[in-house]
Structure 1
Amino acid sequence: MHRSERVSMYGWIWRHLPGNTWVRAGISLVLVLATVFVLFQYVFPWAEPLLPFGDVTVDEGGAGR
């Protein structure tokens, strides 16, 4: 496989951002923070009732009994 065939998604994003290295780094930071914000504000609260976090199977007696 040639090096040009192994293209990562992050490399593609980096090459398509405008500006020099510092501007690209700032835009990348803003994109990451926006993604984290959207996940915590909208995606995780929506998915939480669908996940089995309340289904625990631990005995009340403890591990030593």
Structure 2
Amino acid sequence: MYAALWRILPGPWPVKLLFLLALLAAALYGLFFHLFPWIAATFVPDDGTIDAAAALVSALAQPSPS
């Protein structure tokens, strides 16, 4: 895949390297500033199982009033 990308980019190797770095920077920008925040806002973990399990264990560990 990288060889195919390298072949289709125009220019000598320094220009190709510059293009690849620009493409990488654009992809990272898109991921970190658009996709990842959208995922974090869309798929909010509402319910944590660790807290619920800890509450259950502490409730079971307390002696019941007699």
Aligned pair count?
Answer: 54
After TM superposition, the score normalised by the length of structure 1 is 0.63
Quick one: which of 33, 38, 41 aligns to 2:30? 38
What value does the CA root-mean-square deviation take over the aligned residues?
2.2
Q: Percent identity of the aligned residues?
A: 32
**Which amino acid is the alignment partner of residue 38 of structure 2?**
W
Q: Which amino acid aligns with 2:39?
A: A
The structure that has the greater radius of gyration is 2
Which 5+ residue runs of structure 1 have no aligned equivalent?
1-7
User: How far does the alpha carbon of each residue in 1:7-55 deviate from its partner, in whole angstroms, 9 at most, with x for none?
Assistant: x2x2211100011111101110010001000111111111113335554
